[in-house]
Amino acid sequence: MTISKPRGTRDFLPEEMARRRAVEFKLREVIQKWGYGEVVTPTFEELELFTLKSGQGIIGELYNFTDKGDREMTLRPELTAPVMRAYVNEMQSFSRPIKLFYFENCFRYERPQKGRYREFWQFGAELIGSSKPEADAEVIALAMTMIESVGIKGDLNIGNLSILRCLLAQITTESAVADQIMRYIDKKEYENLDSYLGELSVSAELIEKIHKIISLSGKDGFAAAKSAREVVGDLPELDAFEKTLTLLTAYGVTDYTVNFGVARGLDYYTGIVFEVYADGLGAQKQICGGGSYKLISLFGGGDVVSTGFGIGFDRIMEICELPVEKPETIVLITKPETQTNGIEIANELRPYVSVLTDIMGRNFKAQMEYANTVGAEYVLIVGEKELESGLLSLKDMKSGEQVSLSLEDLILKFKKE
């Protein structure tokens, strides 16, 4: 009987893992230079952590279970809520802002398709404790810098939900009602939106204002903000939005579209929201999304604002063409009589270069063929003659050139390279 991997999961073989690690390393390199520290949270959490954030409707998408203590648990479907829970449990006394990042696997029980899996990886960041435009600008600029560092050109769309929420505050104080309106806007279900607003007896003037705001879009963010002022007046939220755009220019982020119709589809976003799209992914073209939000109070903390983003690592890998540097490899060839000497020599060389030794009992010819098969750059011959002379024969498999070097010279050669 053959047991297959579960649906919606993948096996990553060495070549693919080398690609994934190369991209992961690049993303880590960028975010650490921006002063963010890594956190790791449990693979499973209490189910309530996610129903508090997203409602009971999310349960159908989760790998949830009851543990042996009769507790309702689930494999994590995302990482923002666990990081906020960790903040409440462990980090409330830390100096703010707190800058965190993570790279972990997540699990969702949904229909697998291109770019969407039941086990997937998310790379993300959370900046906790600042509601200033400086925080919004930094998080957006960081996300774009990370995406560009792996050779991907992302299409950045920026919105601001605080403008819409100012209008919604004129309709209702009930969060559930406001959230339903936001969901219609996010899904662009404008007929349903109008029907729902009609049921709420919203005036035609206010409905018109909502439609004007969500239709505001363009490459000139300041022009969009000016148009928004003509609809909603001089709100301080628009002043903060314009400052965010000014700061983005300082970061070198100038190619974006402002779209006040970006709603992100998540109820807890409060201000700036942004999404990044990339070609080559079909319908699932979003590779990054984020914004400012309030979640900490849900989990027992204070009224603390955060700004963050998540990068869909698997979607990045679908289109990333970052070259992978293959380490130089030596295949060390021995005879039965020199096997132990070969192992000792391999131990001396491995701090500086990848070394493979024979563990199959192959003869000299078969060991040479193996070196060709694995694409080794060099073979190092360790025979009785080489041991007697103290000079080992190193053959360049590409040029065919063969030289005799002492172990000390070999170490110097690969140490320098």
Phi, psi for residue 116 in degrees, rounded to 5 = -135, 125
How many residues are given for the chain? 417
Question: DSSP secondary structure string, 77-95?
Answer: S-SHHHHHHHIIIIITTSP
Look-up of token digits 């300082």: 250
Return binding residues: 78-80, 108, 122, 126, 264, 268-269
Question: 89: which residues sit within 8 A by CB, 6+ positions away?
Answer: none
CB atoms within 10 A of CB 317: 18
Residue type, 356: L
Residue type, 237: E
Judged by DSSP in three states, 107 sits in: strand
Question: Cα–Cα distance between 323 and 85 in angstroms, integer?
Answer: 37
271 and 278 in contact (C-beta within 8 Å)? no
Return binding residues for L-histidine: 78-80, 108, 122, 126, 264, 268-269
Looking at the DSSP assignment, which residues form a beta bridge with residue 99?
127
Residue type, 321: E
Looking at the DSSP assignment, which residues form a beta bridge with residue 125?
101, 309
Question: Cα–Cα distance between 81 and 299 in angstroms, integer?
Answer: 9
Looking at the DSSP assignment, which residues form a beta bridge with residue 74?
45, 64
Looking at the DSSP assignment, which residues form a beta bridge with residue 44?
75
Question: 388: which residues sit within 8 A by CB, 6+ positions away?
Answer: none
